[in-house]
Amino acid sequence: MNIELRGLTKRFGANAVLADVTRTLSFAHTLALIGPSGGGKSTLLRILAGLLTPDAGSVEVDSRPLPTAEEERRRYRAGIGIVFQAYNLFPHLTARENILLPLIQVHRLAPDEADARTAEVLTRFQLSAHADKHPAALSGGQRQRIAIARAVATHPRFLLFDEPTSALDPEMTAEVLDLLAELRAEGRTLILVTHEMGFARHTADLVAFVGQGTLLEVAPPEALFTVPSHPDVRRFLGRILRH
């Protein structure tokens, strides 16, 4: 995948979370966005997801500009899969219904095809035994697997993850990271915001350090984690990896 950022700027009030960012991000399967809290990682991800509109500049994904008109943005969002840290499941629907609903309502699949895709991902992600449970009856790891299954069921061009393990305990975190590694091994394209440095180092093809309103460093994981060139990246990783 190739992402071109040209003069990308996003402000919230007087605060420029991203300021005149120009960078090319080219990677085979997985891009990890790392950096300090509030540094702009999630903002960049939400722009790539078509959920936020830049205040200035442009973004191209595989040579196609991100749409700006709302109807085109809806079509763009329908073609990608997005998974948030808070799951974003409908609490009044079962696991099966949470997966089925967007297939019918957003993607306009026939009921038989939507049922088949739902059954397929429930089996794929070992959720069949939980299909008729509501989110409140499931563990955090199970809820996140449902959210991932819902995203994968749409057959997206690529998948976006916004800190998908931040609300999970260590055991559930490992479970979800294993699942993401499986998706990457299948050849799916993933872009994720993560604080899991080990996962970023061993699974990503490219790592971008987002901070101070820009991309301070972009490099393959071994280079960025072993010999970071930017002093702020060295300081950040020195604190994080010490523990």
Question: Greatest CA span in the chain, whole angstroms?
Answer: 56
Residue 72 C-alpha from the chain's centroid: 21
Residue 6 C-alpha from the chain's centroid: 21
Pairing between strand 15-26 and 2-12?
Answer: antiparallel
**Residue 243 confidence (pLDDT):** 57
C-alpha dist (Å) from residue 106 to 71, 76, 78, 99, 215: 13, 12, 7, 11, 34
Beta carbons within 8 Å of 72's beta carbon, 6+ residues apart: none
Residue 129 DSSP class: G
pLDDT tens, residue order, the chain (243 aa): 999 999 999 999 999 999 999 999 999 999 999 999 999 999 999 999 999 999 999 999 999 999 989 899 999 999 999 998 877 899 999 999 999 999 999 999 999 999 999 999 999 999 999 999 999 999 999 999 999 999 999 999 999 999 998 888 888 899 889 999 999 999 999 999 999 999 999 999 999 999 999 999 999 999 999 999 999 999 999 988 775
Neighbours of 181 (CB within 10 A): 15
Q: To 10 degrees, what angle do helices 111-124 and 140-153 make?
A: 140
In this prediction the pTM is 0.93
Domains and CATH numbers, the chain: 2-80+158-241 (3.40.50.300), 90-155 (no CATH)
